[in-house]
Structure 1
């Protein structure tokens, strides 16, 4: 993992690592004896100093009890607080702990030299709000001041003082590390555990081990409930320190070490009194088999890509390339998480392992910009969206981490393998651009949006003819809007992802888009839908009760897609003209900017989905295999469930909305992509008003005039077409397909599947008017009835159904005229009772 010291997150981690590194310094050579530094000196106390005696020999602990009465001597360090002073002697060097405990007051403790120089002080180092100082002291005289935090205003309180040697601080030898066996140790961090040499309020254990031959060593310090911090040193100096380098909050150090003796300190990021009730840990020292490790998988982030400048609160994409640079495949019971972390931000995606994914040497990219000579793109590798909420200098960390599913235990396991790359970026409150020249009401203005050190963006509008002239608020809003459209919309307009699937036709058909509101886009969509339906006369076909030929629906989709290409040809030609004018030094006018945004909304939200549907219909006709990637992408676009085709019909002035919706359902049943194209467009339109408002908001434009120009003609609540609750009867369609020998095959379509009964062929020479019945149609293990069919004197075929009660069911659309060869046609929906319902009905 790469750390960037300028980032806040890195600073936090770096601080913790520094503390751990200092611990390692203190571990060197075993116990470190501190001399009293001369940093602060208390004046000669006026109060009596109580001698506690000598610590050592037969006296391992000194004790005293007292009371702060509010009338005692003043503290030498804390104004307004009582203080009691004590002295003691240390006979033998060692680790000494001083506790000042009180159940009634918030105690504060000072350790001084015999001359009054302060050595250490503490508040809350023991349990609760009690004070503790723990230090390695050499023989000599010392003094203590026992005082309080709250001062005399908190009233009198009793206290107890103890001074004693701490047991269990010795370095524990683990033994000799060999390839045959790991060295291990376990322990529990508690409030009474010996403190760290540098952070004495943090409990710690010290260990040593011998490495007989040079090799790569991995040290893991794990704890289910604690937050381990690990440090490693040798008599030659500090080797390493780590916090959170292992799985979760666990710590890990992995280094190539020369033969020799090494020292480990196992401590925790939490202070002693802040440990959970159970804070046990396990230390493992392992000699790594480097040859075997090279033949295992190693996942790394090879490259990442993010914008240098992003807008606070708005999502931006982080692209990446991740590869398995190791010599082994990732096992199939593993999966990989690629994640992005930033200040107050987290997003990730999961990529499972398989026989073809995460093999040795494989590399995958989320964007062609990051492709290498050997990397490939796979569907699950998509850019990660990240939102950073606060302006200013910021960062994003892109990481990869594998996990193993432990099925028997119902959990995921990770051995601490992860890798990542930091990226610095800048977060601003709005777009930055300019200076650019625009035109409002015939006058030229210069507009510039610039950010300060904190990322706050300020927009200035200046009249070109008179830089000192005051600019009206409404004019400022229009000028700002126009400049933003020029810089954020017109610049690079043909590289926008929303236009990627559109290609202009050789012929151009003009289309007028008055504004980018949802009501305008719905009206245009509805009008063109009606126009296309009228060309094929589908309403007459349904009115006659005849089935719809799926090939004709395919032709309809291709026709609409061709018209979309013609309209895009006209729009893109206009955009090119504007772009050439601006590139030549001309100023973009407010009117052209507004028209450009409206036309772009129409192209991205209506024309692009229609073109995508046309592309699919071009590659696959009825009953043929559709291009999976394109079909899935369009399905995702159409899945918002917030779009209403009825609203589009009403906006286009349709009176018989229900009849047209019924016809739409028949067209969808005959060709899925027809409905997907419509739904994807409607989903895109559903979000346009919100995007328009957000565009003005990010520019800091609060102008009622511009907002009104973009507002929909009416603002109904979005109609959510909820998934219908499955009714009691089966809702199905009868299907029929003409074979090459003239016979007609029958079945039913339910749940998107075909259920074909035995004896399902209507003979080619069947007499006119004579009904033929298929074998039993079985659904979910039960017969639901039979399909009926007969030839008519006019050459058509009539379809029907008879349920298990013998009741004949006639679809509204049931006549087949000139069926296409080898393609199923469909009746309208019929309701067939479920077997249990039929049995109840038969008893009547």
Structure 2
């Protein structure tokens, strides 16, 4: 499509002259022929015979034909060394659309159209049927050459061919008449292999039409096809190209709606597919009609008014897509089966909300979040935000659209907004200081223009010193906890509304793993206030008192708030310290990570359950109150796996698990809020391990076994990571830049992008290449820095952040240009691409 659009200006410029002069074909042919030729000559073919085909007749359907054979001993092609070629000459006395075809039952034909002096005008491989070559151009009077050759060369053996030069019929504009109110202008046709080529890109079959407009009016043009992919263009003598469209109609159909002044207009009805990708034939229907603007303004018109996302996201992290949609038309979308669909598409995947009906009064607007709200928009449960995830870093986009259909599924209209955002390969943050085992490190993570994040770690007391692999991983982890978790901790959604006024009650959370959190759930349930009394009542076969269950829920809620108050005090103290310039220690970072997991996954569900009990008791109708029911529906967010509570009780090591499970079943019946509280905590705790792994992966430290053992203690062993033995290569170019590569022990050479070190790069500053990838693994990046003495130091950083310095690591000063220098071999662990 880009090619089609790029060439439309040529058509416009010529069209005005063509129609006014009455020589449409002639002048288009002149422009195209002159624009198509260039000064690039093939090899000298003076010794090769040129066969003269004669002069092409001026009548439509005139044909010149030649038959020949590639024998494997013919002249070389001017442009394809090793291929036989035959050259033919033909003459054109009348301008027009000329088609040149080269067919062969055996060979893969290729043809070149040349000017008389041998300069190339154009060429083609497969624009004809199957592997046949075809060129279609508007040619001016003159002499032309055709070189008939093959793609595969002489190795395929001899083959017969047929060359034809013919005038193409059916390329003229078909006049549809004068457009009048209430009377549609229509045309039907077929795109096929033999259809005249587009005036923009001749490989695409096209039909041309014209119509008159006597008074200024809004005009609608539809180009529809069941099997083709229509592309529509509209031009005039006065304005040139007026409009062009690909997919604005229903499905892949094209639609143009424009207010036009009086005049003669020209339509090209073509298809997105070139001939060799086109179905055998594709029918289409063209319809041109006047639009009653006043009547149209009284119809429903649905639009997307706003799309809001974070401007920067991290690859693999889900993010919300908020938007606002409205009916800006003067009428209501009928509640007769007419409906709307809202969809998300783009690199974030696809999602949609369907069958939205009965809510589209004139002037209404709906938003999914405050960030997308206007002064008059409202919310509705039927229209909610999308959640999206982008996997590849770099600039990207998403699209939010809305389409309205009538009761029969016919499209009434659609609208959408493209929204741009940047995706980073990992979190980026400014330099922060952290403490690992008494040593202070400065850690920063910066993103380049392509979203690639490079994390730099340096020891404050020894900026140039090598850093132990585990120490580096811990430093990166601590810095990420500081910048991604601790900073802004009190604004996190699950924490922002929690009260810090309760009496602090310290709780120890050894790690953020699912196992630890599930154990805490089991212990909390087994020891909660009232549970012992309820167990005894159940043993006596007495009915459970719902009030007693509610009191148990409230008790756990109060205990959770006391635990949160203690953790919040700890976080506030740490924030004060780092704000004063103190480094956050690794142990402190690990405690924050663990406490935050406990708070968001266990404390928040418990507090929310207590708030529900309080709300029900304050409502006149108790649990039957509509607002309380709505709150309960919102709280019922998950369904834990079967046996989840049993697993939690087993992890806690409590006795009489069977009795506790029987009690839980009865408590859920008499007070559903108890079951919702247990389920919410179980679901959240179960997902902790996955989220912890993601946290390490997005920092590129997931392969560090020491950290993995800390965040998930049961993972005490892990298979050794796959490794690659490699050497770093560097060579100096004529422009002074240094090119880098790696060479695997297999001999395979990998050139990353980017891979050049600028000639004026500052001495002593490390520069990094793009990623080295060996499917399905990411190996790492080359690092390189020029030194003051003229040498260049080479090194490597693996995907998990480990730095490698080869024994032989320097390109000598004054090294010759164009020569690859190799380091000694290093062995580097890999990280699966999906884990990054």
TM range (shorter): 0.7 to 0.9
The aligned residue for residue 418 of structure 2 is 421
- Where do 1:569-584 residues align within 5 Å? 569-584=565-580
Partner of 1:320: 323
Distance 1:15 1:158 in 2: 34
The answer to whether structure 1 residue 48 and structure 2 residue 53 are counterparts is no
The corresponding residue for 1:591 is 587
Whole-Å separation in 2 of the counterparts to 1:385 and 1:253: 33
1:65 and 1:161 in contact (8 A); partners too: yes
The Cα of 1:56 is off from its aligned counterpart by 1.6
Which residue pairs with 1:296 in the alignment? 299
SS in 1 for 2:350: strand
Unaligned runs of 5+ in 1: 1-12, 407-411, 716-844
Q: Which residue of 1 aligns with 2:461?
A: 465
Residues 179 and 300 of structure 1: CA distance in aligned 2, closer, same or farther (over 3 Å): same
Judge which range, 56-65 or 95-104, deviates more: 56-65
| CA-CA distance at 1:629 after TM superposition | 3.5
Q: How far apart, CA to CA, are the structure 2 residues paired with 1:90 and 1:563?
A: 95
Q: TM-score if structure 2 supplies the norm length?
A: 0.79
Find the partner of 2:6 among 4, 8, 18: 18
Shift of 1:422: 2.5
Distance apart, 1:535 and its partner CA? 5.2
Q: Does 1:504 find its partner at 2:504?
A: no
The residue that corresponds to 1:257 in the other structure is 260
Trace 1:190-269 onto structure 2 (pairs within 5 A): 190-236=192-238, 237-269=240-272
- Answer whether contact 2:103 2:109 (CA < 8 A) is retained: yes
Aligned to 2:670: 670
Partner of 1:381: 383
Residue pair 1:510, 1:571 contacting (<8 A) in 2 also? yes
Shift of 1:348: 2.3
- Distance in 1 between the 2:255 and 2:107 partners? 41
Give the structure 1 partner of residue 149 of structure 2. 147
Q: Which moved more, 1:28-37 or 1:703-712?
A: 28-37
Q: Which residue of 2 aligns with 1:554?
A: 550
56-65 or 204-213, which moves further after superposition? 56-65
Q: CA deviation at 1:500?
A: 4.6
- Other structure's SS at 1:417 match: strand
What's 2:163 paired with? 161
Is this contact kept in 2: 1:520–1:712, CA < 8 A?
A: no
Aligned length: 695
Q: Deviations over 1:565-610 (max 9, x none)?
A: 2222222222122212222222212222111111111111011112
CA distance in 1, matches of 2:147, 2:4: 31
Q: Does 1:134 align with 2:130?
A: no
Change (3 A) 1:26 1:562: farther
- Give yes or no for contact 1:351–1:380 (8 Å, CA) kept in 2: no
CA positional deviation for 1:533: 5.2
Q: Please say if residues 425 and 698 of structure 2, whose CA atoms lie closer than 8 Å, have aligned partners that are also in contact.
A: yes
Q: What SS is found at the alignment partner of 1:34?
A: helix
Between the aligned partners of 1:182 and 1:500, the Cα distance in structure 2 is 61
CA distance in 2, matches of 1:577, 1:629: 38
How big is the shift at 1:712?
4.3
Please give the alpha-carbon distance, in whole angstroms, between the structure 1 residues aligned to 2:294 and 2:255: 20
Classify the secondary structure of the residue corresponding to 1:71. coil
Equivalence map 1:679-758=2 (5 Å): 679-701=679-701, 702-713=703-714
Distance 1:74 1:704, change over 3 A: closer
Partner Cα separation in structure 1 for residue 690 and residue 177 of structure 2: 67
Are 1:568 and 2:571 counterparts? no
Instruction: Give the distance between the partners of 2:505 and 2:311, measured in 1 at CA.
Output: 40
| 2:285 pairs with 1:282 | yes
Match of 2:490 in 1: 494
Q: Secondary structure, in 3 states, of the residue corresponding to 1:189? A: strand
Q: What is the DSSP-based 3-state SS (H/G/I as helix, E as strand, rest coil) of the residue aligned with 2:528? A: helix
Whether 2:344 is the aligned partner of 1:340: answer: yes
Q: CA deviation at 1:21?
A: 5.4
Over 3 Å counting, the alpha-carbon distance change for 1:602 and 1:167 in structure 2 is same
Shift of residue 432 of structure 1?
0.6
Contact in 2 for aligned 1:310/1:427 (Cα 8 Å): yes
Equivalent residues in 2 for 1:643-654, closer than 5 Å: 644-654=644-654
Query: 1:262 Cα shift?
Result: 0.2
Q: Is the contact made by 1:509 and 1:570 (CA closer than 8 Å) also made in structure 2?
A: yes
Say whether 1:538 aligns with 2:534. yes
8 A contact 1:20–1:242 mirrored in 2: no
Q: Give the whole-Å Cα distance in 2 for the aligned partners of 1:477 and 1:359.
A: 57
**Secondary structure in 2 aligned to 1:283?**
strand
CA shift in 2, pair 1:193/1:14, >3 Å: closer
Q: Does 1:520 align with 2:516?
A: yes
Give the whole-Å Cα distance in 2 for the aligned partners of 1:22 and 1:538: 86
Check whether the contact 1:351–1:381 (CA below 8 A) recurs between aligned residues. no
Q: Are residues 416 and 298 of structure 1, via their aligned partners in 2, closer, same or farther at CA, if it must alter by over 3 Å?
A: closer
Question: Cα 1:501–1:379, aligned 2, differ >3 Å: closer, same or farther?
Answer: farther
Question: Secondary structure of 1:33's match?
Answer: helix
CA 286–206 in structure 1, closer or farther in 2 if over 3 Å, else same: same
Q: 1:184 to 1:51 in 2, by over 3 A?
A: same
Q: Deviations over 1:50-100 (max 9, x none)?
A: 222222257822222111111222223322222222222323322221111
The answer as to 2:611 corresponding to 1:615 is yes
Aligned to 1:459, the other structure's residue is in SS state strand
Q: Report the counterpart of residue 434 of structure 1 in structure 2.
A: 430
What does the per-residue CA deviation read over 1:664-687, in whole Å, with 9 as the maximum and x for residues that have no partner? 101101111110110010000001
Mapped to 1, the partners of 2:270 and 2:224 lie a distance apart of 11
- 2 CA distance for matches of 1:372 and 1:276? 47
Matched-pair contact (CA < 8 Å) for 2:188–2:285: yes
1:183–1:286 CA contact under 8 A, matched in 2: yes
Deviations 1:603-632 (CA, angstroms, capped at 9, x unpaired): 110111122222222222675236243222
Larger Rg computed on CA atoms: 1
Deviation, structure 1 residue 346: 1.9
The worse-fitting range, judged by mean Cα deviation, of 486-495 and 299-308 is 299-308
Is structure 2 residue 659 aligned with structure 1 residue 659?
yes
Shift of the alpha carbon at 1:431? 0.8
Residue 117 to residue 521, structure 1, CA distance change in 2 (3 Å): closer
Task: Flag the 1:353–1:218 CA change in 2: closer, same or farther, 3 A.
Answer: same
Q: What is aligned with 1:108?
A: 110
For the 8 Å contact 1:24–1:241, the answer to whether it is kept is: no
CA distance in 2, matches of 1:62, 1:334: 58
> C-alpha distance in 2, partners of 1:229/1:57?
31
Do the aligned partners of 2:518 and 2:686 also contact (CA within 8 Å) in 1?
no
> For residues 699 and 69 of structure 2, what CA distance do their matches in structure 1 show?
65
- 1:214 deviates by 0.2
Residue ranges of structure 2 left out of the alignment (5+ in a row): 717-836
* Per-residue deviation, 1:22: 4.8
Find 2:452's aligned residue among 441, 456, 459.
Answer: 456
Shift of 1:563: 2.0
**Are residues 122 and 386 of structure 1, via their aligned partners in 2, closer, same or farther at CA, if it must alter by over 3 Å?**
same
CA distance in 1, matches of 2:643, 2:311: 36
Cα 1:366/1:63, change in 2 over 3 Å: same
Cα distance in 2 for partners of 1:358, 1:658 equals 54
1:49 deviates by 2.6
RMSD between aligned alpha carbons? 2.3
User: Measured at CA, do residues 671 and 714 of structure 1 come closer, stay the same or move farther in structure 2, by a change above 3 Å?
Assistant: farther
- Partner Cα separation in structure 2 for residue 15 and residue 580 of structure 1: 59
